[in-house]
Amino acid sequence: MELSSKGKWDLLSSPFKLGNVDLKNRIVFQPHFTSFGNEDGSPSETHRAYYEERAAGGTGLIIFESQATHPNGRISRYATNAWDECNIKSYSNVVNAVHNHGAKIFSQLTHSGPDTLMIRPSILWGPSQLDESPTTFRTKKMEIADIEDVISHFAQSARNMVEAGFDGIEIKIGHDGLLRAFASPFLNTRLDQYGQNFDGRMRISLEVIAAVRKEIPSEMPLGVRLCVSEFTEWGYDADYGIAMAKEIEKSTHINYFNADAGTAANYWMQIPPASFDEGSFRHITKKLKSNVEIPVISFGRIKHPEQAESILKSGEADLIGMARQLIADPAYAKKVLEGKDDEIRYCIGGNDSCIFQVANEQPLRCDHNPSAGRELIFSERLITKARTVKNIAIVGAGPAGLKVAEILALRGHTVTVFEKDNNVGGQVLLAQLQPYHVEIYDVIDYLKRATSKLGVEIHLGVEITTDLLEEIDAEVIVLATGSSPISYRHSDELSDKSEMPGSYRNVIQNIDCETVTTSDEILSGSKNPGKNVLLIDEMGSWDGAGTAEFLANAGSQVHVISSHFSIGSSLETANQVLFYKRALEKGISLLPSTKLIKITGTNANLENIHSKMGFQIMDVDQIVVSVGRRSEDSLYVNWAEALTSKQIFRIGDSVAPRMLRDVLREAYDFAFRFE
């Protein structure tokens, strides 16, 4: 057995020279908007702490997120303004913090053009005023004076970035923004010198590149983030993207390309979720690299060092770009370089906190890394040893229980975990069985590795008793006993029997018990999938959507209803769109805004909640209920009074059932602060 991976990733850990900049390794933190900016457009202290964390984690190069170069080109209210000289000082704070750890930092410059995250943006600028724009907002067709203004603002922004101390500049002709919009034959229908043909469409990009190059030291690296293929039916393809690359390279002004793909219309190609296999974007970088002379940075769903090393070995790229992997684990580079691969916390590709937050102009977070975006207070580097070491028993080895165990053990406490099942993982064990959701198990895999390294004892198949707690002399008990699904079956013992008008309870309670089941029972195999299944999705999460796909894969005919406007209404947009595509291909019928009114024999009587129009689905032999969960809190209720000599806490779903990200963060914060 290999004990250490040190020295295993020769290429990944090898230095590289980009222009006049020496990078200590090949790991690049890809630019990503974080929504951390102050409202006056300056970088915040949150920015500083966030990027410093990745620099301290050993990253070779950090490319600071898209910077607005023009007052009219801010993608969000929380974008930072590179054009504004007043911000130079706060940019320097970020740069210096990164430099202190030996990493280099470039600044990505953009004008967001027709793309926006704002709900009520000001006038958006575009090459043309199209009938169909990438957003629901119409654009202003830019006048020549506007174009000249944009070019001079790019130059001014570059000047400010040099003054702030950045090591290089990257211009974004990427998946969003004005420059790609001009380059795109679909979006640019101009008939003047900035449109009409390929040369015209490339003109603004080339003029921006030349203007920026003039403002920065001649040896300073200047790169281009290039959308190689838009991947839409109407957009440009990789051949066109390569023609763009060649034209840009011909200018001799730039030192590298950073690969990219997709547009706002299909942003699952920009930020591919876990339904895309790891490495499935390699062909894009490979095509780019084989057509240009200058160095190329790879992108898209690269997590494992094996994958990264093989990209470098095959010559498909010179540097490995990672955004989400380093959001999930800021110390990734250090772990790889020091041969501690077994300590890596892998990104689960769910997009549920990073892009989900940012797309709603909320500060970036991470499902798997509770400190992401909160490094100022909750950095893992700020975890301290406990003043008094305590003997702590944790009941439940789901994500919340394991997370609390990890951090309490890290702080020096003696931690023992008791789990009544024979496996750790709780609900995640079932969630990972849903199609395209398997990577969620990386959360448990990481916590298993981490707790084992820290010497946490985990006892499986043990029903905890007060006698056992006395026996092990636990001073503190943390209950993480999870939750169970609501079924509304009349056989279930519900603590709360009150009438709930408008809920499903009255309908479901009158149905034959055997017909009604829960997603947990289906996924665990304790109930066989029916032939003709009605699934009620009121949670809008993977629970309903993923179980519907699981059933369809098992051969069931599936009908999914929800009173929400869509099925899977709380899924991150890319995941929801991709779910819809797959579900419809599999013949799953999706019926949003629909309620089950009653069951007559085997017929389900349904109603559109807006029109009140009724309809039936015949011969339903199974109803899968995904309407919510209930806390498993009986131990807490019983012990809070019985065990007065001990400190008792509860966390996670046992307090209130929530999403994975919420319970992990709660567990982390609890353990971080526990005294």
Q: Nearer to ligand SF4 by C-beta: 175 or 201?
A: 175
Beta bridge partners of 589: 559
Q: Nearer to ligand SF4 by C-beta: 403 or 411?
A: 403
Q: Which does 366 bind (CB under 5 to 8 A by kind): ligand FMN, ligand SF4, none?
A: ligand SF4
Work out which of 18, 147, 162, 354 binds ligand FMN, going by CB under 6 A: 354
In sequence order, which residues have a C-beta less than 8 Å from that of residue 468 and are 6 or more positions away?
418, 462
For tokens 């699952």, the residue is 268
Q: Which does 225 bind (CB under 5 to 8 A by kind): ligand FMN, ligand SF4, none?
A: ligand FMN
Work out which of 358, 533, 574, 648 binds ligand FMN, going by CB under 6 A: 358
- Do residues 657 and 631 lie in contact, with contact meaning Cβ atoms separated by under 8 Å? yes
Give the SS3 label for residue 307: helix
Give the SS3 label for residue 653: helix
Footprint (CB under 6 A) of ligand SF4, residues 335-394: 347-354, 366-368
- Do residues 205 and 179 lie in contact, with contact meaning Cβ atoms separated by under 8 Å? yes
In angstroms, rounded to a whole number, what is the distance separating the alpha carbons of residues 653 and 666? Answer: 10
355 touches ligand FMN (CB under 6 A): yes
Work out which of 224, 269, 327, 534 binds ligand SF4, going by CB under 6 A: 327
In angstroms, rounded to a whole number, what is the distance separating the alpha carbons of residues 473 and 393? Answer: 9
CB of residue 346 vs ligand SF4: minimum separation in angstroms? 8
Compute CA 237 distance to the chain's CA centroid, rounded to the nearest angstrom.
26
CB of residue 527 vs ligand FMN: minimum separation in angstroms? 36
- Do residues 417 and 458 lie in contact, with contact meaning Cβ atoms separated by under 8 Å? yes
CB of residue 35 vs ligand FMN: minimum separation in angstroms? 8
Rounded to the nearest 5 degrees, what angle is found at the Cα of 295, between the Cα atoms of 291 and 301? 90
- 306-329 b/e (C-beta count within 10 Å ≥ 16 → b): eebbbbbeeebbbbbbbbbbbbbb
CB of residue 327 vs ligand FMN: minimum separation in angstroms? 7
Instruction: Give 311-343 as a DSSP string.
Output: HHHTTS-SBEEESHHHHH-TTHHHHHHTT-GGG
Q: Which does 348 bind (CB under 5 to 8 A by kind): ligand SF4, ligand FMN, none?
A: ligand SF4
Q: Nearer to ligand FMN by C-beta: 65 or 406?
A: 65
- Do residues 568 and 584 lie in contact, with contact meaning Cβ atoms separated by under 8 Å? no
For tokens 């130079």, the residue is 88
301 touches ligand FMN (CB under 6 A): yes
Q: Nearer to ligand FMN by C-beta: 295 or 529?
A: 295
174 touches ligand FMN (CB under 6 A): yes
Q: Nearer to ligand FMN by C-beta: 97 or 355?
A: 355
Footprint (CB under 6 A) of ligand FMN, residues 207-226: 225
Q: Nearer to ligand FMN by C-beta: 117 or 147?
A: 117
In angstroms, rounded to a whole number, what is the distance separating the alpha carbons of residues 234 and 237? Answer: 9
Work out which of 42, 59, 66, 622 binds ligand FMN, going by CB under 6 A: 66
Work out which of 103, 294, 364, 430 binds ligand FMN, going by CB under 6 A: 364
Q: Which does 364 bind (CB under 5 to 8 A by kind): ligand FMN, ligand SF4, none?
A: ligand FMN
CB of residue 431 vs ligand SF4: minimum separation in angstroms? 13
Footprint (CB under 6 A) of ligand FMN, residues 103-122: 108
Stretch that binds ligand FMN, among 87-95, 248-256, 293-301, 607-615 (CB under 6 A): 293-301
299 touches ligand FMN (CB under 6 A): yes
Q: Nearer to ligand SF4 by C-beta: 352 or 538?
A: 352
- Do residues 106 and 61 lie in contact, with contact meaning Cβ atoms separated by under 8 Å? yes
Element (H, E) at 66: strand 61-68
In sequence order, which residues have a C-beta less than 8 Å from that of residue 675 and are 6 or more positions away?
386, 387, 388
Task: Give backbone dihedrals phi and psi of 335, rounded to 5 degrees, phi first.
Answer: -60, -45
CB of residue 581 vs ligand FMN: minimum separation in angstroms? 20
CB of residue 351 vs ligand SF4: minimum separation in angstroms? 5
Compute CA 271 distance to the chain's CA centroid, rounded to the nearest angstrom.
8
Q: Nearer to ligand SF4 by C-beta: 241 or 350?
A: 350
Q: Nearer to ligand SF4 by C-beta: 79 or 664?
A: 664
Helix axes of 238-250 and 198-215: crossing angle, nearest 10 degrees: 40
CB of residue 672 vs ligand FMN: minimum separation in angstroms? 24
In angstroms, rounded to a whole number, what is the distance separating the alpha carbons of residues 380 and 464? Answer: 31
Beta bridge partners of 485: 629
CB of residue 43 vs ligand SF4: minimum separation in angstroms? 21
CB of residue 534 vs ligand FMN: minimum separation in angstroms? 36
Rounded to the nearest 5 degrees, what angle is found at the Cα of 67, between the Cα atoms of 222 and 45? 115
Q: Which does 451 bind (CB under 5 to 8 A by kind): ligand FMN, ligand SF4, none?
A: none
State how beta strands 476-479 and 647-650 pair.
parallel
In angstroms, rounded to a whole number, what is the distance separating the alpha carbons of residues 343 and 638? Answer: 38
Task: Give backbone dihedrals phi and psi of 471, rounded to 5 degrees, phi first.
Answer: -60, -40
Rg (CA), the chain: 27
62 touches ligand FMN (CB under 6 A): no
30 touches ligand FMN (CB under 6 A): yes
# residues near ligand FMN by CB under 6 A: 25
328 touches ligand SF4 (CB under 6 A): yes
284 touches ligand FMN (CB under 6 A): no
State how beta strands 603-608 and 614-617 pair.
antiparallel
Of 223, 160, 164, 219, nearest to 30 by C-alpha is: 223
82 touches ligand SF4 (CB under 6 A): no
In angstroms, rounded to a whole number, what is the distance separating the alpha carbons of residues 626 and 469? Answer: 35
Measure the N-to-C terminal CA separation of the chain; round to a whole number of Å: 40
Work out which of 59, 87, 270, 654 binds ligand FMN, going by CB under 6 A: 270
# residues near ligand SF4 by CB under 6 A: 14
Element (H, E) at 418: strand 414-419
Q: Nearer to ligand SF4 by C-beta: 65 or 419?
A: 65
Q: Which does 270 bind (CB under 5 to 8 A by kind): ligand SF4, ligand FMN, none?
A: ligand FMN
CB of residue 279 vs ligand FMN: minimum separation in angstroms? 10
Q: Which parts of this chain interact with ligand FMN (CB under 6 A)?
A: 30-33, 65-66, 108, 172, 174, 225, 260, 270-271, 299-302, 322-325, 354-355, 358, 364
Residues interacting with ligand SF4, by CB under 6 A? 324, 327-328, 347-354, 366-368
